[in-house]
Amino acid sequence: MTSQFQSDKAYTEIRKRILTQYYPTGSVLSVSDLSKNLKMSRTPVNVALRQLESDGLIQFIPRKGIIVRTFSKDDFFDCIEAIEALEGMSVYIITRGYARGDIGEGLIDKMNDVISELDRFEAENNIPMWHEGDVQFHDIFVDFCPNNIIKKTLRDVRNQMLIGFGFFAPLYLNRDMSSNDHRSLVEAIKSHESEKAREIAQRHRRNARVNLRKLLQTGIGIQ
């Protein structure tokens, strides 16, 4: 395996563990322990950790070590507000690219595949897997975005939001409404309606933000 492959593999696995709360916020990470756990040398692990630091998911703190970043409620909602704007613009640009033929049918196929998985997890009432599927659906708007500045910024902010998001929000969000929004997005993109697609994407995030803020006022969720 190449060193790049190893560092990418380490990055993907550590990121997943952080976002799924396997390594909760405030956890201290050890390069030695991670190397043993991932069955690879320290070098690719160090490269992965530097990327995760750049993403804003961990911090290197003198005399304390490598810490999974802690987010406050204000941090959490700052991220959601930023995503509302960034994801809306990403969807708008993606829809224009799809209309011009710059982005192929792989986009729609990917969206429909994830929607089918979400339907299955909802029928099984498998909330953790539904949450992972929902993350994958929104990853599409990072992966297919042709604007590299929006792509990187959106990825970084989503990573940070997901630390606070954890598995709390899917327990209380209206998953039926989310599924309807997902399907509406597919239809708007297929119809080349870039403004409508952006409106749906931003409304989707805005509804989640408003509902989560109401829930957090009751004392439920992140601290």
Let me know the angle formed at the C-alpha of 212 by 207 and 213, rounded to the nearest 5 degrees: 100
Question: Tens of pLDDT along 116-136?
Answer: 999 999 999 998 788 889 889
Burial track 159-175 (b if 16+ CB lie within 10 A, e otherwise): bbbbbbbbebbbeebeb
Q: Which structural domains are found in the chain, ordered by start?
A: 3-68 (1.10.10.10), 73-217 (1.20.120.530)
Q: At which residue do the structure tokens 């729609």 appear?
A: 108
pLDDT at 166 over 50: yes
Are 52 and 11 a contacting pair, CB within 8 Å? yes
Q: pLDDT tens digit string along 18-73?
A: 887 789 888 999 999 999 999 999 999 999 999 999 888 899 999 889 999 887 77
Q: Side chain identity at 102, as an amino acid letter? A: D
